[in-house]
Amino acid sequence: MVTNVALSSATATEPALLALDWGSTGLRAFLLDARGHQRASRSASLGASAMNGQADSYVAALTQVAGDWLQTWPTLPVVACGMVGAKHGWREAPYVPCPADAHALAAQAIALQLDGGQTLHIIPGLRHQAPACTPDVMRGEETQLVGAMQLHPQLADAACVIMPGTHSKWAQLGAGQVRDFHTQMTGELFALLRQHSVLGRLMPPTRVDTPSAADEAGFLAGVAAAQAQGEQGLPRQLFAVRTLGLMEQLPLDSLEDYLSGLLIGHELRAGLAWRDAGGCTHAPLALIGEPALCQRYRLALEQFKVTAPLLLGNTAPEGLWSLALTAGWAAAPA
Amino acid sequence: MVTNVALSSATATEPALLALDWGSTGLRAFLLDARGHQRASRSASLGASAMNGQADSYVAALTQVAGDWLQTWPTLPVVACGMVGAKHGWREAPYVPCPADAHALAAQAIALQLDGGQTLHIIPGLRHQAPACTPDVMRGEETQLVGAMQLHPQLADAACVIMPGTHSKWAQLGAGQVRDFHTQMTGELFALLRQHSVLGRLMPPTRVDTPSAADEAGFLAGVAAAQAQGEQGLPRQLFAVRTLGLMEQLPLDSLEDYLSGLLIGHELRAGLAWRDAGGCTHAPLALIGEPALCQRYRLALEQFKVTAPLLLGNTAPEGLWSLALTAGWAAAPA
């Protein structure tokens, strides 16, 4: 099913770019005007992981979501980021080494001819390998980071950006570049422990109603435990989630939020130390992602005395627009 | 199915005790002579978690495994440890506060009359709650610790004991007591990540052949990563298992052992710091548990410069014998 958001002026002026945020689980298409503003957007659960690496499937998905746009504007430039450019995606856009800026990303995009005659430009991901450090990769987030710098130019000077999720990304920005980044498996660990571990067995079914104040208390208790006793190590503090429930020191209702706080607290503990080691302690901090999850991180950050982070939604459209201008695939009005 | 190990002299002399190691997943029964030596042993997959808290099920399981022994020796004392005494076990033997010694455990055992006329004594677990610390519990391991002190009296003076497993237990012993302990969820985390996470997807099916030298190298690389870069935090180092595989810095064959090493390394990092804070740095260190797993820990401990730990198998029979003597349920020859 394609979700369609059409603004009234969607077709009033010639669009300047079709921007595709094409991740593992979904495809989001944005029709942008010559100022980079959204005229219409559509989304569908047609992510790269459903395509089995088949070019035909990608063509069909793009046609389903944006075929009419491509027919109406046969010279419309198209630019995409995300897993669509992975090794097992539509066409591989090999990782660019970090540090990198928008110019490096745009220059190393790969071009693919569509049947309708348009060129699809796929933005590469970033690869990071510091000496004596484990390697890391991102694909899609690099474009969100470019978008964040486009929206808030002060971030380009120096910033720390957190993109919470299944695999949370942390990035340090400076001089317009992504200088350094790493990934933490926080969201996936939470899901695994909630669904499959001995900890989940004590927890009542996940609530669908609005989180209450009690949940926030449980969440903050978990953050505080990570902050104050994190050196006990996660494997020990995880088992304590069980004993806190068994010993009735935490209501069973709060265990899920406590676990969430504990894991996010461990992420912040390690991530902020990495930020400080990178000299970004006093640089602005931004959160990019799903609003409810970013709120959770904001709350946890307060406990670490990091206040007033910049909260951003999905900045991929701005990033794709900025990269298209940089490369000259689209042109802003003179 | 009951597995039966009968020594030739099993019924030659009157047995002195029927000792039951009755955990979540299995029941092991030991027929001990008046010196505490095993005359016969039997085991079956009739653990507490299969009993659904039903007394009838426990009676049936005991009858299946040791009914003939109870019939032959109707005055035989019976003593049990493990989840059989949990809240949802056969009969609850409430936790004894730590620190505790064999006298405290024996004194707070609960007695249950069996239909054949024998008394079943159930050893309580230990409960630990230091101020400003999360609570913790053990049930079954306290008896193994008593057994270790019985077998190696020098451990009673001062020792650190690791009992690796799904939920690894660490204990500090001193003056014949269990002074302090905690639990780490290492084994469960490994199983979750191996079976359900993005990390498992890169790993070939688990080998059943003898581990090769290459596996040991992968394991030790994981231990080293935890030791040298553990402050990066587990959620980050876990994601790196994926990138090390994707970037071909580790063979896919080695990822499983690397993950095992990383998790055990984090356990040792936190556990040894806890041992040192407890003043046990120079006390002997012992490993109790499944031999192959203890070998893995021994290898990892070497990397932490902790050499020549004492390797012990299941010390529950010795612990049950020692507790039965302490309580006077069984008598050693004069």
Q: Each residue of A82-107: b (16+ CB within 10 Å) or e?
A: bbbbbeebbeebebbebbbbbebbbe
What pLDDT score was predicted for residue A83? 96
* Residue whose structure tokens are 């450090």: A133
Q: Given its phi and psi angles, is residue A331 left (phi above 0), alpha (psi -120 to 50 degrees) or beta?
A: beta
Whether A139 and A78 share a structural domain: yes
Is B277 within a domain? yes
> Mind listing the pLDDT tens digit for each residue in A153-194?
999 999 999 999 999 999 999 999 999 999 999 999 999 999
Both structure tokens of B33: 């002579």
Is any Cβ of chain A less than 8 angstroms from the Cβ of B73? no
Amino acid identity for residue A44 in this structure: A
**3-class SS string, chain B:** CCEEEECCCCCCCCCCEEEEEECCCCEEEEEECCCCCEEEEEEECCCHHHCCCCHHHHHHHHHHHHHHHHHHCCCCCEEEECHHHCCCCCCCCCCEECCEEHHHHHHCCEEEECCCCCEEEECCCEEECCCCCCCEEECCHHHHHHHHHHHCCHHHHEEEEEECCCCEEEEEEECCEEEEEEEECHHHHHHHHHHHCHHHHHCCCCCCCCCCHHHHHHHHHHHHHHHHHHHHCHHHHHHHHHHHHHCCCCCHHHHHHHHHHHHHHHHHHHHHHHHHHCCCCCCCEEEECCHHHHHHHHHHHHHCCCCCCEEECCCHHHHHHHHHHHHCCCCCCC
- Which DSSP helix (H) or strand (E) runs through A6? strand A3-6
Same domain assignment for residues A214 and A262: yes
**Do A191 and A274 fall into the same domain?**
yes
* Partner-chain residue, chosen from B193, B234, B243, that has the shortest CB–CB distance to A234: B234
Judge if B291 and B323 occupy the same domain: no
Quick check: A184 and B244 CB within 8 A?
Answer: no
CA distance B119 to B117: 7
Low-confidence ranges of chain A (pLDDT < 50): 8, 10
> How many CA atoms within 13 Å lie on the side-chain side of A262?
31
User: Can you tell me the mean pLDDT for B52-75?
Assistant: 95
Both A88 and A142 in a single domain?
yes
B186-196 vs A186-196: helix crossing angle, rounded to 10: 100
- Distance (Å) from the alpha carbon of A321 to chain B's nearest alpha carbon: 29
Token output for B93: 């033997």
Residues B127-141, mean pLDDT to the nearest whole number: 85
Distance, in angstroms, between B192 CA and closest chain A CA?
A: 7
Residues in chain A: 334
What is the rounded radius of gyration, in angstroms, for the C-alpha atoms of chain A?
Answer: 21
For residue B12, name the pLDDT band (cuts at 50, 70, 90): low
Residue pair A273/A144 in contact by the 8 Å Cβ criterion? no
Q: Which helix (H) or strand (E) holds A297?
A: helix A291-303
Minimal Cα–Cα distance from B136 to chain A, Å?
6
In a domain? residue B160: no
pLDDT of residue A333: 73
Q: Average model confidence (pLDDT) for chain B?
A: 93
Instruction: List the one residue out of A55, A56, A2 whose CA is nearest residue A27.
Output: A2
> Is residue A261 within 8 Å of A222, Cβ to Cβ?
yes
Please report the pLDDT score of residue B162 as a whole number: 98
Do A14 and A93 belong together in one domain? yes
The alpha carbon torsion through A239, A244, A246, A249 (nearest 10 deg) reads 180
- Residue B176 inside a domain? The answer is no
Q: Residues of B numbered 130-169 whose beta carbons fall under 8 angstroms of chain A's beta carbons: which are they?
A: 133-137, 167-168
Inter-chain touch A184–B236, beta carbons under 8 Å: yes
| Rounded Cα–Cα distance for residues B39 and B29 (Å) | 11
Do B89 and B34 reside in the same domain of the chain? yes
Quick check: B197 pLDDT over 90? Answer: yes
Same domain flag for B101 and B200: no
Q: Which site among A243, A249, A275 would you substitute to test the B interface, given the most B Cβ atoms closer than 10 Å to its Cβ?
A: A243
For residues A107 and A44, state if they share a domain: yes
The answer, for B180 touching chain A at a CB cutoff of 8 Å, is: no
Domain presence at residue B147: no
Give domain status of residue A125, yes or no.
yes
Residue A301, CA atoms < 13 Å, CB-side half-sphere = 22
CB atoms under 10 Å from CB of A213, counted, come to 7
Burial class (CB in 10 A: 0-12, 13-18, 19+), B201: exposed
Which value, in Å, is the radius of gyration of the alpha carbons in chain B? 21
Domain membership flag for residue B171: no
- DSSP assigned state of A95: P
Give the number of domains in chain B.
2
Please give the angle made by the CA atoms of A90, A91 and A95, to the nearest 5 degrees: 120
Helices then strands, each counted (H, E), chain A: 11, 16
User: Kind and range of the H or E element at A12?
Assistant: none
Which of B192, B266, B273 lies nearest to residue A196, judging by beta carbons?
A: B192
Pairwise CA distance, residues B268 & B285, whole Å: 12
SS3 A247: coil
Nearest to B188 by CA among A242, A183, A264: A242
Distance between B279 CA and the closest CA of chain A, angstroms:
16
Give the pLDDT score at A214. 60
Averaged over B45-71, what is the pLDDT? Answer: 95
All residues of chain A having their beta carbon less than 8 Å from the beta carbon of residue B137 are 243, 246-247
Residues A145 and A192 in one domain: no
The whole-number pLDDT of residue A332 equals: 77
Kindly state whether residues B105 and B209 are assigned to the same domain.
no
In a domain, A179, yes or no: no
* Domain containing residue A58: CATH number: 3.30.420.300
SS3 call for A47: coil
Residues ≥6 apart with Cβ < 8 Å to B84: B20, B22, B48, B58, B90, B122
Chain segment A250-297, per-residue pLDDT in tens = 999 999 999 999 999 999 999 999 999 999 999 999 999 999 999 999
Question: Which residues on A lie below 8 Å from B231 (Cβ)?
Answer: 270, 273
pLDDT at A334: 66
Q: Are residues A147 and A33 in the same domain?
A: yes
B190: containing domain: 184-312
CATH code of the domain covering residue A283: 3.30.420.310
Give the count of beta carbons closer than 10 Å to the beta carbon of residue B131.
4
| pLDDT(B134) > 60 | yes
Between CA B330 and CA B11 the distance in angstroms is 18
Residue A275, token pair as written in the block:
């930020």
Domain membership flag for residue B167: no
pLDDT exceeds cutoff 90 at B92: yes
Residues of A in Cβ contact (< 8 Å) with B275 = none
Interface touch B184/A269, C-beta < 8 Å: no
Residue B4 has pLDDT above 70, yes or no: yes
Q: What is the phi/psi pair of residue A53, to 5°?
A: 70, 15
Is-contact B192 B263, C-beta < 8 A? no
